[in-house]
Structure formats: structure tokens, C-alpha cells
Amino acid sequence: MALDRWIALILLLFCLVYGYTAWFSMDGELAPFMKRNPIWPSTFPKVLSIIGVITSLVILTGLEKGEQKIGEIDYRRLTDYNLGQALLLLGLMVAYAFCLRTVGFLISTSCFLILGSVILGERKWHLMLPLSIGATLIVWYLVQEILGIFLRPLPIFLGV
């Protein structure tokens, strides 16, 4: 059996155990007023377990396989792809995670979006800068003001 099918089998077993827990043991300790709610704490785990079981079964049965088409990734020829870009993006993601608290959401997210688009080959600075900064401001406003989740907007040393 191929490696992807072994992984799918392990994932299927995990999803079955996870689903059993979600369906039969999570809701037993609910308070009486919670039992009348349409959405319980176990709703999302139930959905995840169903999606995981279906996905695992599709991989196990080989339904996702077909003839290899042009544009699909051939894992035997990984060196033919832009591996440098992928590694740079992964490094940028790690740096973003480390900078998020100290540098602040607005600066680190704007820099992440700008540098990420430069790594991917975007050169239209007149579009890239306003879109990156605008998207950062919109996301910050939605999370901070609408959802009420605090995101440090500016660097720590500014005391905000």
C-alpha cells in the first residue's frame, strides 16, 4: 500500500475515534439549558470527524487518483519546482509569527503581505502597497472593534 493510503488509514482511525468521542461522550455533561440549543459544543467536532472520514475514504479507495495531468506536482521531481520560493515563504511565516507581538499587528502583517507578494513575483508596487496596508487595516478593525479581540496594533515599545 502506498504512503498516502497508510496516512489516510491512520487519519481514518483517528477521525473515527474523534467522531465517536464527539457523538457519544462530549454531550453527556451538558447543562439542561444547553441541551435545547441548536448548536452544541460538539457540533464542530462532529462536522470535522465526518469530513475527515469522507476524505480518508476517498483517498483509501483511490477516487482522487486519475491520470496525472499537466500542472500536477510530481513528488519525484521536486527539484524542478520553485522550492526556494516555498522555503522563503515558510521562513517569512515563521518570522511573522515571532514578530506579531513585539512589532505589532499592523506593521508585521503589512510587511508580511508586501514581502510575500515580492517573493511570489509581484512587482506592481502601486497596487501592492495600498492593497496590503488596506487589507491589514480592515482585518485589524474587524477583529479589534467588531469581534472585540485585542490585537496589539503597534510595537510594544510604544506602550499601546
11 phi, psi to nearest 5 deg: -65, -40
CA–CA separation, 40 vs 26, rounded Å? 9
Rounded CA-CA distance 11/49 in Å is 10
Nearest to 160 by CA among 111, 109, 107, 96: 107
DSSP-derived secondary structure for 51-116 = HHHHHHHHHHHTTT--SPPTTS--GGGGGGS-HHHHHHHHHHHHHHHHHHHHH-HHHHHHHHHHHH
Query: Mean of the pLDDT values across residues 12-24?
Result: 90
Give the C-alpha separation, 69 to 111, whole Å.
36
Q: Is 121 left (phi over 0), alpha (psi -120 to 50) or beta?
A: left
The pLDDT, as a whole number, for residue 143 is: 87
pTM: 0.55
pLDDT band, residue 112 (cuts 50/70/90):
very high
Domain ranges (residues) in the chain: 3-66, 82-158
Task: With cut-offs at 50, 70 and 90, classify the pLDDT of residue 63.
Answer: confident
Report the 10 Å Cβ neighbour count for 130: 10
Q: What is the pLDDT of residue 24?
A: 83
Which has the higher per-residue pLDDT, 104 or 152?
104
pLDDT at 70: 57
